[in-house]
Amino acid sequence: MKTLTKEMQAAITPEIALKLLEAGNERFMNNLKVNRNLLEQANETSDAQHPFAVILSCIDSRTSAELIFDQGLGDVFSIRIAGTIINEDILGSMEFACKVAGSKIIVILGHTKCGAVKGACDHVEMGNLTTLLAKIQPAIQAEQTVIENRTSKNEEFVEKVTVINVEQAVQMVMERSSILREMINSGKCGIIGGSHNITTGKVTFYPNTMFGFFKSPNTTTTDAAEKKPTLMAKL
């Protein structure tokens, strides 16, 4: 697996970026990770980095983005915070990743059995965690299909809140960052939400959270089709 160069990154579209992540997750699920020389990649990225994706995920120890998408050094920007919430610091990090460093896709990734979501469902209060969990409350309030037992003991409720939390996070990125919104609307970058099943390893993407996945104004359909297999072969 080759280290990403600036030229390789430039050839990646949001559509190709998503395919790369899907292929990586498929390898992870089948325990077929690509053989990489990480020390060589460390050396090759020591002067510059050209990640194709920025992934916001939870701090949960079972949800390392590089592992579940089978990516190497220099491939992805990884932002991690309990509950996969959005704040100004995270938006700024995403803006750097996409506008400055050239990443082509933003992934907002929740996961099953999320402890932060469970804590928010139970209205846990503990030090600074109280403020963080409060940011998940809008997702809890938006979930209206479960009437009884709206606590962490109800697995169905927790998973539904997790999905809504991801959907709301995607919307927040679009609403609160004019830089990212312009890039997404113009097809320079895509954004999508999804969830990682910590039991099976599978990442399920949510089609209703896909924005920015369309042909680039400067790339013909034929060009895009030709670039994709060539790039996939290099990676």
**Is 114 assigned a ligand-binding role in the annotation?**
yes
Bridging pattern class, strands 53-57 and 203-211: unpaired
Enter the DSSP assignment of 200: T
Secondary structure of residue 36 in the 3-state scheme? coil
Structure tokens at 90: 């995270």
**Is 58 assigned a ligand-binding role in the annotation?**
yes
For the chain, count helices (H), then strands (E): 11, 5
**Is 60 assigned a ligand-binding role in the annotation?**
yes
- The backbone torsions φ and ψ at residue 67, rounded to the nearest 5 degrees and listed phi first, read -80, -50
Residue 136 in contact with residue 83, Cβ under 8 Å?
yes
Give the start-end residues of each E strand in the chain. Answer: 53-57, 76-80, 105-111, 190-196, 203-211
Query: Taking Cα atoms as reference points, which of 1, 10, 71, 4 lies closest to residue 227?
Result: 10
**Is 121 assigned a ligand-binding role in the annotation?**
no
Residue 2 in contact with residue 75, Cβ under 8 Å?
no
CA–CA dist 211, 15 (Å, integer): 11
In angstroms, the Cα distances linking 96 to 46, 48, 109, 169 are 18, 14, 19, 18
Annotated binding residues, written as ranges, equal 58, 60, 111, 114
**Residues annotated in a binding site for Zn(2+):** 58, 60, 111, 114
